[in-house]
Amino acid sequence: MSKHLIAPSILTADFLHLESEIAMVNSSEADLIHLDIMDGVFVPNLTFGFPVIRQIKSVARKPLDVHLMVVNAESYLEEYRDAGADWLTVHYEACTHLHRTIHRIKELGMKPAVSLNPHTDVALLENVLPDLNMVLIMTVNPGFGGQKFIENSYTKIRKLKKMIKNAGAETLIQVDGGVNEENIGTLIDTGVDVFVVGNTIFSASDPIKMISNLKKLS
């Protein structure tokens, strides 16, 4: 069985029944709970902030994988830690002092990750790659769930995998956007370690079985 990780994205969960949705993920084979934080500035959408993260943390039994699609993320790193983030992802495109921010995330006891938008070249991460626990390749344009997977992402993933190997790093590769039962096998073969999955899980008639199926695929 493959060792890849599944991180259900609650962006497409039923927020009216969020506690029961988290309970479902808790009882599943999922590895992480993925939270998309959007500020309406860096991306054209708004989601939620610290109060909701704290509420989710209070019932979650899986680590929180918090993806910041926001400007000025470096100003609130401690608040995200205190709210319950275990993994914290910042965007290359929104972070002027990336090296400093990565090390501050690590100092605060979280696992640092950096995300790249579809147009951003993975080569730009060469100088910080060994400092990262994970790189998140956006396989759709960030902002909304349920979008179609961008095919050029495979090329980026292969290039990143080669960079990680050449650097002697243990950085994980995560993808977010358009992941489903049809493409996950190819993505695993390409080198992806962690899968953010939203619509495919939360729109399934049996989400727990869907998570199990995604874990079994290789």
* CATH number, domain with residue 121: 3.20.20.70
Per-residue HEC secondary structure of 179-201 comes to: CCCCCHHHHHHHCCCEEEECHHH
- Domain hosting residue 119, numbered range: 5-216
What's the whole-number mean pLDDT along residues 201-214?
97
> Any catalytic annotation for residue 36?
yes
Residue-wise DSSP of 44-111: S-B---HHHHHHHHHH--S-EEEEEE-SSGGGGHHHHHHHT-SEEEEEGGG-TTHHHHHHHHHHTTPE
pTM score: 0.96
Q: Which of 31, 36, 65, 193 is the catalytic position? A: 36
Say yes or no to pLDDT of 157 above 80.
yes
pLDDT digits (tens, 9 = 90+) for 69-102: 999 999 999 999 999 999 999 999 999 999 999 9
> Any catalytic annotation for residue 14?
no
Number of domains forming the structure of the chain: 1
pLDDT digits (tens, 9 = 90+) for 4-60: 999 999 999 999 999 999 999 999 999 999 999 999 999 989 999 999 999 999 999
- Backbone φ, ψ for residue 205 (5° rounding): -70, -30
One-letter amino acid at 107 equals E
Q: If pLDDT is split at 50, 70 and 90, which confidence band does 1 have?
A: very low
Q: Which of 14, 65, 131, 176 is the catalytic position? A: 176
